[in-house]
Structure formats: C-alpha cells, structure tokens
C-alpha cells in the first residue's frame, strides 16, 4: 500500500482512467463488430462513417494511438468496399 498522499492520489486516478479507457475500448469493439456484420454495402458504409468518427474521437482523447486508428479505418474500409 502506498504511504504518500501523492501516490494514493495517483492510484485513484489510474483506476479512474482505466475504467474510462475500458468503456471506450469496449464501445469501439462493438462498433467494429457491427461493421463486420453488415450485409449490404449501404449499411456498411453508414456504419463505417460512425466507426471512423468514433476512432477519431478516441485518438483525440488519447485512448488509442493514431496509427492504430488509421490501420483499423483502412481495414474496415477495404472490407466495406468488398461488400456487394
């Protein structure tokens, strides 16, 4: 257990940040699954726009790295473009 007041505060902020990050990452995974489950190209494109927006928001919040977001956007867009 931490003995310094600053260390105790740091433990509390780390836990708060961990829970926040877990919430956003779970939301992102669910959104990606929705895109992958799309049946038609129109639905896929609509879901892709929403997912791209969410990825950009998470990058701005510092929850995921910008290169990871770029890779995910690229993979999802190629997936949607192959839908008929």
pTM reported for the whole predicted model: 0.87
CATH number at residue 76: 1.20.58.110
pLDDT tens digits in sequence order for the chain, 84 residues long: 788 999 999 999 999 999 999 999 999 999 999 999 999 999 999 999 999 999 999 999 999 999 999 999 999 999 999 998
Domain hosting residue 61, numbered range? 5-81
The count of domains in the chain is: 1
The C-alpha atoms of residue 31 and residue 52 are separated, in whole angstroms, by 10
pLDDT at 47: 97
Distances (CA, A) of 13 to 7, 9, 49, 79, 82: 10, 6, 33, 38, 43
């Amino acid at each position: 257990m931490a003995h310094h007041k600053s260390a105790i505060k740091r433990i509390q902020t780390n836990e708060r940040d961990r829970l926040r990050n877990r919430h956003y990452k779970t939301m992102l995974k669910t959104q990606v699954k929705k895109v992958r489950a799309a049946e038609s190209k129109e639905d896929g494109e609509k879901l892709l726009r929403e997912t791209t927006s969410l990825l950009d928001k998470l990058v701005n919040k510092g929850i995921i790295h910008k290169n990871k977001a770029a890779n995910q956007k690229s993979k999802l867009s190629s997936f949607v473009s192959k839908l008929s």
